Chains A and B, each alone.
Chain A
Amino acid sequence: MKKEVEVLTLAVLFILLLATTISIHPFGKPCKTEMDDYFILNGQNQTGCNNIVTSVVFDYRGMDTLGEATILFVAVTGVFMVFWRDKNEK
């Protein structure tokens, strides 16, 4: 019984992945997206950054960067929790 379930799951996954691979757009010809065209056309005028990546990271998607900075802060706090030894402890 278990074996049949495994084989069935694998077959369904294989068919799904095969269908995705067949229906994907050809290599080197990405889908039409309006977002990147908007950033390239308006990024310099709106934010003044030559670097479009910086204008996205610090302006259009600033909340993501705030989350990244918070993750680093929490990582430092975790290292403190693991490694810090108080002088008066021993």
Chain B
Amino acid sequence: MRNNDELSRIVRNVTCVLAVPVTVFGLYIILHGHLTPGGGFAGGAVMATFIALFLVSFRKEIIKKDMWTKLFPVSEILALLAFISLALLGISAAFFHNFLANSGLLFGMPVPFGVNPGYLGTGGIAPLMNLAVGLEVFSGLSLILFIMTYSKPDGDKND
């Protein structure tokens, strides 16, 4: 394995250019999960795609590996806990009861029946759960990518 295993300047520049569109597209898929096809799983995977591109393009030494491998487990566990807590908050009616829908609070707008333009403030706990699941999928897949990138093969003791 070479030490200076970064890709060419073209690939690195394209990675920097793609940083904002890919991340914004993933966030859009997550945030509009209750209006358009997609949701937390798809959006989190799209955002983790950028992490993969980032890891293969740049030199391994300039990536702050220790910070990310400490941060991603925390965010993953927090997202999973937020998901379960949101499900538990409606326990007075049932587990996973949508207590925010049509309540007038956060994401609580009533939605007109049938075809409508789609309002962002609807959906009850579904958008919040989309956010939690999106963060969890993004953290989990990124953590897998980081670990697999920085692990060494067993027999390779010289590197």
Q: Do A and B bind each other?
A: yes
Complex interface: chain B residues within 8 A of A72 (CB): 136-137, 140
Which A40-60 residues have C-beta < 8 A from chain B?
44-51, 53-55, 57-59
A-side interface mostly: helix
Contact at B33–A54, with CB atoms within 8 Å?
yes
Partner among B84, B102, B152 whose Cβ is within 8 Å of the Cβ of A66: B84
Complex interface: chain A residues within 8 A of B83 (CB): 66, 69
Interface residue stretch chosen among B9-17, B18-26, B51-59, B142-150: B142-150
Partner among A47, A75, A83 whose Cβ is within 8 Å of the Cβ of B123: A47
**B34, B39, B110, B118: most-surrounded residue (chain A CB, <10 A):** B34
Q: Tell me the bound Cα distance from A70 to B87 in angstroms.
A: 14
The interface on chain B, measured as residues whose beta carbon lies within 8 A of the other chain's beta carbons, has a size of 45
A27 proximal to B (CB < 8 A): no
Q: Tell me the bound Cα distance from A32 to B152 in angstroms.
A: 56
Which A46-88 residues have C-beta < 8 A from chain B?
46-51, 53-55, 57-59, 62-63, 65-66, 68-70, 72-73, 75-76, 79-80, 83-85
Min distance, Cβ B129 to any Cβ of chain A, angstroms: 5
* Contact (A48, B122) CB under 8 Å given A58-B129, A65-B129, A66-B84: yes
Complex interface: chain B residues within 8 A of A69 (CB): 80, 83, 133, 136
Complex interface: chain A residues within 8 A of B108 (CB): 48
Complex interface: chain A residues within 8 A of B111 (CB): 44-45, 48-50
